[in-house]
Amino acid sequence: MARPKNIVVTGANRGIGLELVKQLITKFNPDNIFATYRDPENSKDLLQLASQNGNLHAVILDVRDTDKYADFVTNVESTTQGAGINLLINNSGFFNKENNTSLSQLDKADLMYHFEINTLAPMMLTKAFLPLLEKGSKANGSQPLGIGRAAVLQVSTNMGSIGDNTSGGAYGYRISKTALNQASKNMSLDLLPKGILVIPLHPGWVKTDMGGSNALITTEECVTGILSVLENLNEDTNGHFMRFDGKEALW
Ligand code: NDP
């Protein structure tokens, strides 16, 4: 089984991100997992988990603070002692359900806020971690391409799908994730020669603060599926828009 030794996950204090951290630890027992959060007050579960697992490092990061990325990378580099990273999961996301639902409600600042978190941050953080992803891939060059070498998971949504859009609305969220999908596809082509795979992924409609209580699946079901997709990630699925259940999503 391919095993990512060093992992970075954003937005890991609640919802899908917190469950990702839990299952990544159980399944892969990574050497290091760096899990970001913003506010200790709503991150108690993550901080408690970190106090119980020496390989889990909770790191404060607001993904809008791109000027803090270099320090984060330096921190990861020194802890991993030159091993690089094998898996970057850009999970942090924002969906303003109160606004931006119809054209008449469009607000420029709100649109920009969605873009900052859902598009620019995953792009810029991937750029920042590129040297460590390359190191991770090179250091494990005898392994097949995938999470045993280096991979980036961009947590997207089928609401970013153009082909699957039958209900309109939610402009900021939809278009920022559509842009993320294009960026992910681009990266998958640009980074393949460096031995780094990239996929955007729809995690399902998940019972979290964002997904709400009517959602169809639990975080446990969602993340079990995501980890299976990651385990099976290879050159054939590189750059494909995947779903948590292993099927392909519609672009
Ligand atoms: P939640 O709302 O439960 O959690 C969102 C996470 O993103 C939190 O950890 C939050 O941190 C973090 N976040 C938000 N803004 C920032 C920021 N500026 N900097 C750093 N972190 C930030 O959402 P989910 O767990 O449901 O969603 C996770 C991902 O899955 C998102 O990308 C979302 O778009 C995607 N998704 C979710 C679906 C669902 O049904 N739940 C469906 C499709 C996609 P904080 O606590 O500090 O706010």
Domain-located, residue 116: yes
Written as six digits, the tokens of 203 are 């995690």
Q: Which atom from ligand 1 is nearest to the alpha carbon of 204?
A: 42
- Paired strand residues for 152: 88, 198
Q: Write out the E strands in 92-196.
A: 151-155
The count of domains in the chain is 1
- The pLDDT tens digits for 110-141 are 999 999 999 999 999 999 999 999 999 999 99
Domain-located, residue 81: yes
> Rounded to 5 degrees, what are φ and ψ at 153?
-105, 120
The pick from 67, 92, 218, 226 for probing ligand 1's pocket by mutation, whose C-beta has the most ligand atoms within 8 angstroms, reads: 92
52 CA → ligand 1 middle, Å? 24
Closest CA to 45 of 3, 86, 14: 14
Domain-located, residue 251: no
- The pLDDT tens digits for 62-110 are 999 999 999 999 999 999 999 999 999 999 999 998 866 788 889 999 9
pLDDT surpassing 70 at residue 195: yes
- For residue 190, which amino acid is it? D
Find the domain containing 118 and state its range.
6-243
- The pLDDT tens digits for 20-55 are 999 999 999 999 999 999 999 999 999 999 999 999
Domain-located, residue 248: no
State ipTM: 0.99
Domain-located, residue 1: no
171 lines ligand 1 (CB under 6 A): no
Give the whole-angstrom CA distance, residue 23 versus residue 63: 23
93 CA → ligand 1 middle, Å? 4
> Rounded to 5 degrees, what are φ and ψ at 8?
-125, 130
- For residue 144, which amino acid is it? P
Give the whole-angstrom CA distance, residue 27 versus residue 40: 26
Mean pLDDT estimate for the chain = 97
193 CA → ligand 1 middle, Å? 31
Domain-located, residue 130: yes
Domain-located, residue 249: no
Note if the pTM is more than 0.90.
Answer: yes
Residue whose CA is closest, atom 9 of ligand 1? Answer: 11
8 Å CB contact between 237 and 199? yes
Question: 10 Å Cβ neighbour count for 75?
Answer: 13
Domain-located, residue 199: yes
Q: Which atom from ligand 1 is nearest to the alpha carbon of 62?
A: 19
User: CATH number, domain at 220?
Assistant: 3.40.50.720
With helix as H, strand as E and coil as C, how does 185-212 read? HHHHHHHHHHCCEEEEEECCCECCCCCC
